[in-house]
Structure 1
Amino acid sequence: MTGVQQARARGARRWAIDLRPLGVPAYRRLWLGNGIAMFGFQFTAVAVPVEMYALTHDSFWVGLLGVAGFVPLLVFGLWGGAVADVRDRRLVLLGGSALLWASTLGLLLQAVFRVGSPVLLLVLVAVQSVAFAISSPARSAMLPRLVPDELVPAASTLNYTTFTAASVVGPLAAGLILSIWDDPQVALPIAYGADALLFTAMVWAALRLPALPPEPSPDGDGSPARAGLASVIDGFRYLATTPVLLLSFAVDLIAMILAMPRALFPEIAHDRFGGGGSVGWLFSAIAIGSMLGGLTSGWISRLRRQGLGLVVAVVAWGLAIAAAGFAHQLWLMVLLLGVAGAADLVSAVLRQSMLLVYAPDRMRGRLQGVNTVVVAGGPRLGDLRAGAMAAGFGGGVAWIAGGVASAVLVVVLAVAFPALLRYRAATSSSGDRD
């Protein structure tokens, strides 16, 4: 290999996604199982609203699916995080996965037997949300126990990139099923069945994990605390005393509430681009940008000024969203939304890496529970903000003003409370990675 070729190879390694965490067998199995399961879940994510509308012919009922999914997540996300701190995280993940699998099988059975109950659909979606809220904090909190601290950013990047890839490819595959089988009574059982089959990969991965019991309690008696309200309050008390983590949550909420334009996509697509397939491009653009950002993310794991990097990424998100609001060409809007998606990938990975490495293991589950609520709740509140503002000022103003306000407020917050800007990545390794 010539010197030029060697230099190009080194440059490619610097930018290409860091695959070193896949050298850890336990993490590799978990990543593979979770990626396959997330791809399968997209079939259900498309099929449920399609079935609800086919049953009711009323978008109000379709909207109720969001409520059925969010309320249990808000309640059980915090409790699930507390459980992950006082029980073997492998067993918590298995229990949540079993419940999630059972709810998917329930969706399959009601479609096969053509029950046709909108209320039953809402109940099964709520059960799915409970199961996700229980399993998600445990799955995230176990990451530093599986890989060294220096590989946590790379492992987080792999997780997010896989999720965004599934979010792009999965709905397309689900749409293909719905287009091949025009009859929903045939297509819906196939979609639910595909999800149930693919989810077995997650169950297999969880079964192959090592035991991940909680660390001894701080008083040294070796007995874990109880997963109750006091434990949840303990987590919030710890969060209130750690400005770095508190600010990381704050900037994410600002970015999602003020600058998430998702609720404006149908209006903007209709008014500027004549509707049709343009709305699909708008809904896919952020995820596509995140996926491409993940594939070129090798530099993230080498970033030491993670706090500064997080602030820059969140500001870039807001500015890219604002710029996209000015675009009157579909290709330009999609491009700018893709840039915003890449910035969102960087901010998500840095925030998750900081959370996992900075917090002690005994607190990771509860903080991941808070993270689950923030990540799920922020975009939904953003939908509410965008819709309400658009009703009063128009979609364009709601879009652009939200992006600008997000960028400005994040800068003001970072300057007023510089703990986040000063944060540097930890370089020490710790934890149990059997």
Structure 2
Amino acid sequence: MNVCDRLLDTRPIRSNAAFRRWWAGSTLSVFGGQLTTVAVLYQTWESTGSSLAVGGVGIARAVPAVLFGLLGGSVADSVDRRRLVLLTTSGQFACAGALTSQALAGLGSWWLLLVLVAAQEICGATGAPARRSFTARLLPEWQLPTGMALNHLGMRTAMLSGPVLAGVIIAAGGVEGCYLLNAVTFAAAFHAVLRLPSMCPESGGYRRKPAAIGAGLRFVASRPELHGAFLADVLATVLAMPTVLFPMINEQRFGGSPETLGLFWSALSLGGIAAGLASGPITRLPRPGVVMLTAAGIWAVALTGFGVSQQLWLLLGCLTLGGTADTISVISRGALVQLAIPDSHRGRISAVDHIVGASGPDLGEFRGGLVAAATSATFAAVSGALCCGLGILALAVTNRPLRRFTVPKRPAGQALERG
């Protein structure tokens, strides 16, 4: 391992062509998704002026994420996961086209916007469990933490550049440019998946019927390290997710310009990129549960600071620290979850992982919007972050298997596969 790889281990990208294609396509897809996220929230706020309506966008994403994420996990353990992802990515492309059309037509219907957001989430949630299993199939176990770190670095890079570009596009010509560019990124992601090898489940092959969802849920319930990892993410997102408060705080404290609004999202991503670029030491730590719990606690502290900051530089600094902690937590949780499950259950349990990861922030946005509408944005941010911190502390004290879970070591003499 050279000096650079000790800081950021890029060997999977350099030596594994299949993983490299998957990583590039995923990064582009996240970039396009960030454009749409900012555009939808901005369009909703401009048309309604209601933080509750902005929070309603979170519900439009969260409900399909739960219902269709479970279905997608069951299907993913029964079919070629690659084909499932190709089908659902096509649906997301069609929804991005519809979002572009409604913006160009100037319809201004909040309900239509919710329907299209929900339809795109249905497609994304159905394919998400299969997508989440790809890294574990393309890389050996001992490299999974590194693959997760690289995935998250790509995601955070997209989340940094996406909102900034979205703010520029919206200021220059409106939200339709964001939706159109999102459609282009889905097309690129489709091409990346098309070139991957077949991804049939390793145990059982084609079952001809969906695998039992209940068996996957029972497996999660029987493993404290799994349900503890999921609970930590729920506490961090449902109680403390700050993004729904961004438009309200931006208007109240900093004048409401779209360029400033884009900086809020970019600050979260900047911290994530910094953590990703120095992820080598993190991925080599043997106990991901301890790393995840520590990072989640820092996330709670950072978002408490975000809630009370009145100066832009201090607020962005707190969000940057929060993004750093979030990246470390997500990398550690993702590696733990994928390592703790057999491939025969990977689709269904990845569905639970997706539901927690996707619907948690959306439910958190709804909670934040509801509390902010009833009280204030400051109270919504601070109260949620403090409750998150207390919950993480209780989980760390009570869940010993989560703290003691250990990553397998690299077998002596094993080299990377070249695709």
Using the size of structure 2 for normalisation, the TM-score is 0.87
Equivalent residue letter for 1:18: D
Per-residue deviation at 1:24? 0.7
The CA RMSD over aligned residues, in Å, is: 3.0
Gap change, CA 1:358 and 1:390, over 3 Å in 2: same
Does residue 153 in structure 1 map to residue 145 in structure 2?
yes
Equivalent residue letter for 1:179: A
The residue aligned with 1:374 is 356
| Partner SS state of residue 159, structure 2 | helix
The residue aligned with 1:42 is 34
Per-residue deviation at 1:119? 4.7
| Partner SS state of residue 331, structure 1 | helix
| Partner SS state of residue 226, structure 1 | coil
The answer as to whether partners of 1:358 and 1:426 remain within 8 angstroms in 2 is no
Q: Determine which of 299, 316, 325 is the counterpart of 2:298.
A: 316
Does residue 215 in structure 1 map to residue 206 in structure 2?
no
Gap change, CA 1:213 and 1:433, over 3 Å in 2: farther
Q: Determine which of 4, 11, 16 is the counterpart of 1:20.
A: 11
Q: Determine which of 220, 223, 226 is the counterpart of 2:209.
A: 226
Does residue 330 in structure 1 map to residue 321 in structure 2?
no
Q: Which range moves more in the overlay, 77-86 or 382-391?
A: 382-391
Correspondence 1:339-418 to 2 at 5 A = 339-390=321-372, 394-418=376-400
Q: Determine which of 113, 124, 136 is the counterpart of 1:132.
A: 124
Q: Which range moves more in the overlay, 121-130 or 231-240?
A: 121-130
Gap change, CA 1:340 and 1:24, over 3 Å in 2: same
The answer as to whether partners of 2:55 and 2:368 remain within 8 angstroms in 1 is no
Gap change, CA 1:319 and 1:205, over 3 Å in 2: same
Correspondence 1:9-408 to 2 at 5 A = 10=3, 12-15=4-7, 17-22=8-13, 23-49=15-41, 59=50, 64-111=56-103, 119-181=111-173, 184=174, 188=176, 190-217=177-204, 224=207, 226-227=209-210, 231-269=212-250, 279-390=261-372, 394-408=376-390
Equivalent residue letter for 1:130: I
Equivalent residue letter for 1:233: G
Per-residue deviation at 1:268? 4.4
Matches of 1:401 and 1:387, distance apart in 2: 13
The answer as to whether partners of 2:54 and 2:244 remain within 8 angstroms in 1 is no
| Partner SS state of residue 279, structure 2 | coil
Does residue 419 in structure 1 map to residue 411 in structure 2?
no
Q: Which range moves more in the overlay, 105-114 or 336-345?
A: 105-114
Per-residue deviation at 1:247? 0.3
Matches of 1:47 and 1:398, distance apart in 2: 23
| Partner SS state of residue 256, structure 1 | helix
Gap change, CA 1:193 and 1:316, over 3 Å in 2: closer
Gap change, CA 1:41 and 1:402, over 3 Å in 2: closer
Q: Which range moves more in the overlay, 348-357 or 153-162?
A: 153-162
Per-residue deviation at 1:192? 3.3
Consecutive unaligned residues of structure 2, counting only runs of 5 or more, are none
The answer as to whether partners of 1:285 and 1:341 remain within 8 angstroms in 2 is yes
Matches of 1:108 and 1:65, distance apart in 2: 17
The answer as to whether partners of 1:216 and 1:223 remain within 8 angstroms in 2 is no
Q: Which range moves more in the overlay, 36-45 or 261-270?
A: 261-270
Matches of 1:395 and 1:39, distance apart in 2: 27
Number of equivalences = 412
Deviations 1:333-366 (A, max 9, x none): 2212211210110000110111111110011111
Gap change, CA 1:348 and 1:328, over 3 Å in 2: same
Matches of 2:348 and 2:62, distance apart in 1: 18
Matches of 2:253 and 2:230, distance apart in 1: 34
Matches of 2:228 and 2:365, distance apart in 1: 22
Gap change, CA 1:392 and 1:342, over 3 Å in 2: same
| Partner SS state of residue 33, structure 2 | helix
Deviations 1:236-288 (A, max 9, x none): 11100111011000111112223333344455455555655655443432222
The answer as to whether partners of 1:286 and 1:337 remain within 8 angstroms in 2 is yes
Gap change, CA 1:313 and 1:76, over 3 Å in 2: same
- Work out which of the two has the higher radius of gyration on C-alpha atoms and give 1 or 2: 1
Gap change, CA 1:175 and 1:375, over 3 Å in 2: same
State percent identity of aligned pairs: 36
| Partner SS state of residue 214, structure 1 | coil
Using the size of structure 1 for normalisation, the TM-score is 0.84
Gap change, CA 1:53 and 1:204, over 3 Å in 2: same
Per-residue deviation at 1:209? 0.6
Deviations 1:280-339 (A, max 9, x none): 443432222112211221212211121211111111211222244444432222212211
